[in-house]
Amino acid sequence: MDATLALAMELIRRPSVTPDDGGCQAHIAGLLSAAGFRTESLVFGDVTNLYARHGDAAPLVVFLGHTDVVPPGPLSDWATPPFVPTIRDGMLYGRGAADMKGAVAAFVQALLEFVRRHPRHPGSVGLILTSDEEGVAQDGTIQVLRTLAARGESIAYCLVGEPSCNEVLGDTVKNGRRGSLNGDLVVHGVQGHIAYPERADNPIARFAPALQALVSAVWDEGSADFPPTRLQFSNIQAGTGADNVIPGSLRALFNLRYAPTTPAPVLRARVEEVLAAHNLRYTLTWRLSGEPFLTKDGALKAALAHSIQAETGRLPQYSTAGGTSDGRFVAPFGTQVLEFGPLNGSIHKVNEAVAVDDLARLTRIYQGTLERIWVP
């Protein structure tokens, strides 16, 4: 059996629902240390992270991934049990097959093969794995990066193995991500009897036109690299539970996925302008969950594109669409960050799967990327 496939199955067999690692990282550390990697388990809170490195010189190229998975959902909806890896019609089924134990297995095999072929390679190669990507992501990659930075270990190139492809392997590379800004808004009114509205101040009625203004606002037009900024509400609540009471307040949660053309401080000011224009009394708490980033042309982009083309015959499209990933934590350190992994059609769903053939191809693409970084 192909070594990447065997390792992917071994990882799926370990139920590692976030933030649990299920022993995946210890298994991988064993494989890498036997091949001469220095490996280190970095534990923060209840999160386990693995850092492995081969070589001491710069530049350092790191593969970044996670061993945790999202919960399987109702077991009865799965054709085969989520933590029993199953091959059917050329597909490997199991929770994490596509997001992202398949890519993690490909990373490990690519690193093993690379150091076997080039024991005295220039620069350094490494792997960072966290068990906290699908959860709150506070004790995972960000803490590992802070630890490395404090030691003066800098990462020149980072390839994230998140499932980036849409229709066929090789069609899409993520070369950046939009920023993500969360707002927690409380609109204040005055509670009262619903039959005496003149003695109350209804925050629902007050907020309705502001809500409409916010969701229909055009924040920017996007750019060549980024789709336009969008604001979406995720929650809105008010009410005391009684049908004869005007509530005293309303709470609404919203998120802006934004392009770098409109920075977060500008968005905050514009949202607050809209609220002020509607004469609201409010409390608004902001939380920035990720700055936008864009990786321009460079050694990593060229090496990955050539490797994808050599394996699949196609050149990838570049995209900054979709949700955030741990790449957002790496880019602010000045690292060139790209994301490339398998097809994303089944991720977080029941019957998650990855094509068996794609695992071997992904391994060759990752290995080829390491080789081409030094010999373009």
Interaction site with Zn ion (CB under 5 A)? 99-100, 162
Smaller CB separation from Zn ion, 21 or 162: 162
The CB density around residue 75, as the number of other CB atoms within 10 Å, is 10
CA within 13 Å, CB half, 338: 24
With CA atoms as reference, report the closest residue to 65 among 94, 24, 112, 124: 24
Residue type, 356: V
Instruction: Write down the least CB distance from residue 144 to Zn ion, Å.
Output: 16
Q: Are 258 and 229 in contact (CB under 8 A)?
A: yes
Whether omega for the bond prior to residue 332 falls within 30 degrees of 0, making it cis, is no
Instruction: Write down the least CB distance from residue 113 to Zn ion, Å.
Output: 23
Q: Which is catalytic among the residues 20, 21, 113, 133?
A: 133
Instruction: Write down the least CB distance from residue 128 to Zn ion, Å.
Output: 14
Give the span between the Cα atoms of 149 and 144, in whole angstroms: 9
Smaller CB separation from Zn ion, 100 or 165: 100
Instruction: Write down the least CB distance from residue 66 to Zn ion, Å.
Output: 6
With CA atoms as reference, report the closest residue to 3 among 109, 113, 114: 109
Give the span between the Cα atoms of 292 and 180, in whole angstroms: 8
Instruction: Write down the least CB distance from residue 368 to Zn ion, Å.
Output: 22
- Give bridge partners of residue 70 from the DSSP assignment: none
Smaller CB separation from Zn ion, 18 or 312: 18
Give the span between the Cα atoms of 318 and 329, in whole angstroms: 20
Give the span between the Cα atoms of 216 and 205, in whole angstroms: 18
Give the span between the Cα atoms of 16 and 95, in whole angstroms: 9
133 is catalytic: yes
Q: Which is catalytic among the residues 20, 21, 68, 358?
A: 68
171 is catalytic: no
Instruction: Write down the least CB distance from residue 162 to Zn ion, Å.
Output: 5
Smaller CB separation from Zn ion, 92 or 100: 100
Instruction: Please state the separation of Cα 265 from the chain's center in Å.
Output: 23
Scanning 201-298, the segments in alpha helix (DSSP H) are 203-216, 264-277
For Zn ion, the nearest residue by Cβ is 99
Instruction: Map residue 162 onto helix, strand or coil.
Output: coil
368: tokens are 């080829």
Smaller CB separation from Zn ion, 311 or 339: 339
Whether omega for the bond prior to residue 197 falls within 30 degrees of 0, making it cis, is no
Smaller CB separation from Zn ion, 113 or 326: 326
Helices 3-12 and 102-117 cross at an angle (nearest 10°) of 140
Please give the positions annotated as active site.
Answer: 68, 133
